[in-house]
Amino acid sequence: MEAPPDALTRDSPTVRAIKDITFGSIAGMVSKVFEHPFDLTKVRLQSQVLDSSARFSGPIDCLTKTWKNEGVRGLYRGLPAPIVGAMAENASLFLAYGELQNVIRRVTGRPLSEKPSLPQLALAAAGAGMITSFLLTPIELVKCKMQVQLLVTPTSAVQKLPGPLSVLASVVRNGGIRGLWLGHTGTLIRETGGTAAWFTTKEYVAGLLVSRRVKQGDGQALPLTSSGNIALRPWESALSGACAGAMFNLAMFPADSVKSMMQTEEELRPTKVVPGEKPLPKATFLGTAKAMYKAQGIRGLYAGCGITVARSIPSSAIIFLIYDGLNKYFGS
């Protein structure tokens, strides 16, 4: 009797999916530990755009004051949520990106071994970002709320600050399950457009580096990272990833600014509920964007952009260096 095909062979879709999830999770976790102090700075700068007087004059001032007033613990405030978020985000991104490429190949009649075109890669990346945004919004909501806790909490109460689970429970209690997706429009726009820019920039720059190397007669027929037939060297993964990180944030940064403002509004500018009066309508994405633009113009929508791009360059380089390295040694 003929044995059934092994569903978990080395190149099976199931094994490939497990590897994408594992490699993406590890890469995301490591990069998030590196970048968290800079992400905290970004959120705090974004959240003060509608304040009459700014708490921080810029990213260096924010980092300095956070270190002085809160120490190392303050720089890593809210870290558990983004650690979970980074693992979920990168696992989802790499898995969905690969699977959507296969869908595009099947629809267009291409063999699974053929590399999609750059526009097709952009479409797959945008779809992956859109899917990931639904997982990411609740995690970023908890993270942002924790990152601004110290801005409105007396020093004597610092030790009593709620942790991520308490913040999560508070959100659900006050806004129901739907409240977990506060600011989702911003996350959706950022992840869809930003991820398209992220993956396509990485693929484009990596392709240029590989083409240059092959023209020098130094190419080898080895498995590649996400698509192609030549393996990237570590420095090529890092450089192409660094370029991708910069493009991700430059592409859709205002959407992220509006999202952060919406998610921290309740903590920083709580509205007083007057008995007998109808409560004020909840802030919308477009309404918040208009208010931020009115307050500080384009500058307000790009608050924290400099430090975000600066931290995303090494962070994204780390992600692709780790992912491509794991894929090279364990993925083929």
- pLDDT beyond 60 at 80: yes
Structure-block tokens of residue 138: 């609740």
Tell me, what DSSP letter sits at residue 72? H
Question: Of the ranges 46-50, 77-81, 236-240, which one carries the lowest mean pLDDT score?
Answer: 77-81
Q: Which of 32, 95, 314, 131 is nearest to 226 (CA)?
A: 95
In angstroms, the CA 128 to CA 252 distance is 16
- Mean per-residue pLDDT of the chain: 83
DSSP 51: S
User: CA 181, CA 175: separation in Å to the nearest integer?
Assistant: 10
- State the burial class of residue 25 (Cβ atoms within 10 Å of its Cβ: 0-12, 13-18, 19+): buried
Confidence check: pLDDT of 228 > 70: no
Mean pLDDT, range 192-199, rounded to an integer: 96
**pTM score above 0.85:** no
What percent of the chain shows pLDDT beyond 70?
84
How far, CA to CA in Å, does 118 sit from each of 111, 125, 126, 202?
16, 10, 12, 11
The answer to whether the CB of 308 falls within 8 A of the CB of 58 is: no
Pick the CATH number of 13-269+284-330 from 1.50.40.10, 3.40.50.740, 3.20.20.80, 3.30.750.24: 1.50.40.10
Q: Is pLDDT above 70 for 217? A: no
**Contacts by residues 206-211 (CB-CB < 8 Å, ≥ 24 positions apart):** 206/232, 206/236, 206/237, 206/240, 209/236, 209/239, 209/240, 210/236
- pLDDT higher for 284 or 155? 284
Query: How many CB atoms within 10 Å of residue 121?
Result: 23
Cβ atoms within 10 Å of 8's Cβ, excluding its own? 8
- Cβ neighbours of residue 318 under 8 Å, at least 6 residues apart? 27, 30, 31, 34, 238, 241
63 pLDDT higher than 50: yes
Judged against a pLDDT cut of 90, whether residue 280 lies above it is answered with no
Two structure tokens written together for 186: 């911003």
Q: Name the burial class of residue 75, with classes exposed (0-12), middle (13-18) and buried (19+) by CB atoms within 10 angstroms of its CB.
A: middle
Asked if the model's pLDDT at residue 315 lies above 70, the reply is: yes
Position 85 scores a pLDDT of: 79
Give the 3-state secondary structure of residue 304. coil
* CA–CA distance, 5 with 322 (Å, rounded to integer): 32
Which of the residue ranges 131-135, 184-188, 220-224, 240-244 would you say has the lowest mean pLDDT? 220-224
Q: What would the pLDDT profile of 230-249 be if each residue is shown by its tens digit?
A: 678 899 999 999 999 999 99
Cα 44 to its chain centre, rounded Å, is 17
Give percent of the chain above pLDDT 90.
40
Can you give the pLDDT at residue 74?
82
The neighbour count for residue 224, using CB atoms within 10 Å, is 18
pLDDT above 60: residue 322: yes
**Higher per-residue confidence, 50 vs 134:** 134
pLDDT at 281: 67
